[in-house]
Structure 1
Amino acid sequence: MSSDSVVRGLRHQLVDRLRSDVLSGYYAEGQPIRQDEVVARYNVSRTPVREALIQLAEEGLVTTTPNRGARVAKQAPDSIREFLIPIRRIIEVYALKLSFSRLSDEQFARFDAILQKMREACEANDYAGVAEQDIAFHRSIIEMADEPSLLKIWTTLVGQVRMHFQQSHRAYDDLMDVYREHAAIVETFRGGDVEESASYFAQRIGDTDASAMFEDLLISKKSKGRTRRKKS
């Protein structure tokens, strides 16, 4: 393996780790991400850290300012977030349908590994850890579709609603229910019925009230569009 391949592999791993740190809430909104701290925590040099932060800035997860470094980007306000979650659902269900026929033992092994980590985090009442594995689970479904543009859109979208994962988990009386829900989703996938799996999966993403608001908004926009065409 060439040295360039090793560097690219290290950068990719570091991007994944820092992305998880931001999405799971390890770094709070507006918090500086100091290169020295990342270098020490992950035992890497400054170059891959700098390159990783540039990529996260392109994804909208961090903002960078000359001579001031990187900070975790602000999320969308609540009024906007309510409409982003149903869009996230559309993207994830589309990705699932697109790749369902390619579900393999390797992919199910990946699901099982995520579920194991999620279970351990639930048992430890580790909310940040649960959020990290929840996001990893949904990201794995997007990655199955093997559509880089779809992954980029999803990553940017989730970056804007990342607090939803953390807040929704705290609403559970029993945190283990987060694990049980995701385990049930995987068991539905094992059944092999794409429509049943897509329907079950969709029902467990986000807030149904937000979905209704989103659909009302689309209907309202369509109605206004028809009115404009009649006037013209």
Structure 2
Amino acid sequence: MTGPRPSIILSVKDQIAEQLRTDIISGDLAPNTKLNEKELAERFGLSRGPIRDVILQLTKEGLLISKSNVGASVNSILDPNMQKLMIELRRNIEVFAVEQLFNSLDDKDFAELDAILKELQYAFERNDFTEVTKIDISFHRLLIYKAGGDELVNVWYPFVMRMRLNYKRITSGIECVDEHRHILEALRKGDTVTASAAITSNIR
């Protein structure tokens, strides 16, 4: 059994944003749940200003929706046609990223990706499917960042987070880890055709 890597130190606002993401991904905050700034401020022991900043951030990510004079709420589940569109758009972005990565990843990058897969396996061993989802995202995010930096991440990230609201939990650790390992091994060999096919198969 392999334990997780050391955690990165986050700012208070980033910690709150991460907690709310976890609450949404886990279902503790269900779709269409309205958020109360005052209650969130009391929960986290902060003024309402930083809470507004977090709500704005999560709105940009697609997890929340904000309306004037109404406030913020957890975004709704996508209808099947919109979910299908999101899947296709995400696939296109990630295949584009793989093509940009041709023979550009170094040993440090592969070591980090290997470590993420160990975390993924460890999360399955703990039956922590919320963490599985977050680690899954971190694997793909690293590839996107290496391919196009923050600019490409900012294009890609809202699609991924919006899809999380329709996410069907993968309960087979072998299936999930193997799918990501196939992506990684193809990239390690510089085989963009196989890596693209593996990415396309994984995103569903």
Q: Same fold by TM-score, threshold 0.5 exceeded?
A: yes
Q: Deviations over 1:42-83 (max 9, x none)?
A: 776654332121122123321235676532111321122122
Say if 2:195 is the partner of 1:205.
Answer: no
Provide the secondary structure at the position in 2 that maps to 1:169: coil
Which residue does the alignment assign to 1:75?
Answer: 77
Which residue does the alignment assign to 1:185?
Answer: 183
Which residue does the alignment assign to 1:160?
Answer: 162
Pairing partner for 1:90 from 89, 92, 103: 92
Asked whether the 8 Å contact 2:117–2:180 carries over to 1, the reply is yes
Whole-angstrom CA distance in 2 between matches of 1:142 and 1:108: 14
Aligned pair count reads: 195
The Cα RMSD (Å) is 3.1
Say if 1:163 and 1:63 are closer, same or farther in 2 by CA, change over 3 A: closer
Q: Which moved more, 1:45-54 or 1:132-141?
A: 45-54
Pairing partner for 1:59 from 58, 61, 82: 61
Q: Which moved more, 1:77-86 or 1:99-108?
A: 99-108
Whole-angstrom CA distance in 2 between matches of 1:37 and 1:102: 47
Which residue does the alignment assign to 1:219?
Answer: none
Whole-angstrom CA distance in 2 between matches of 1:163 and 1:33: 16
Equivalent AA in structure 2 for residue 169 of structure 1: I
Task: Give the TM-score of the pair, scaled to structure 2.
Answer: 0.75
Equivalent AA in structure 2 for residue 167 of structure 1: K
Say if 1:83 and 1:34 are closer, same or farther in 2 by CA, change over 3 A: same
Q: Which moved more, 1:33-42 or 1:23-32?
A: 33-42
* Stretches of structure 2 lacking an aligned partner (at least 5 in a row): 1-9
Whole-angstrom CA distance in 1 between matches of 2:47 and 2:138: 26
Q: CA deviation at 1:123?
A: 1.5
Q: CA deviation at 1:185?
A: 2.0
Say if 1:110 and 1:56 are closer, same or farther in 2 by CA, change over 3 A: same
Which residue does the alignment assign to 2:124?
Answer: 122
Provide the secondary structure at the position in 1 that maps to 2:73: strand
- 1 or 2, which has the higher helix percentage? 1
Whole-angstrom CA distance in 2 between matches of 1:17 and 1:129: 12
Provide the secondary structure at the position in 2 that maps to 1:102: coil
* Stretches of structure 1 lacking an aligned partner (at least 5 in a row): 1-7, 207-232
Asked whether the 8 Å contact 1:62–1:70 carries over to 2, the reply is yes
What are the within-5 Å matches in structure 2 for residues 131-146 of structure 1? 131-146=133-148
Which residue does the alignment assign to 1:3?
Answer: none
Which residue does the alignment assign to 1:169?
Answer: 170
Whole-angstrom CA distance in 2 between matches of 1:43 and 1:177: 41
Asked whether the 8 Å contact 1:27–1:33 carries over to 2, the reply is no
Equivalent AA in structure 2 for residue 178 of structure 1: C
Whole-angstrom CA distance in 2 between matches of 1:196 and 1:130: 24
Asked whether the 8 Å contact 2:179–2:198 carries over to 1, the reply is no
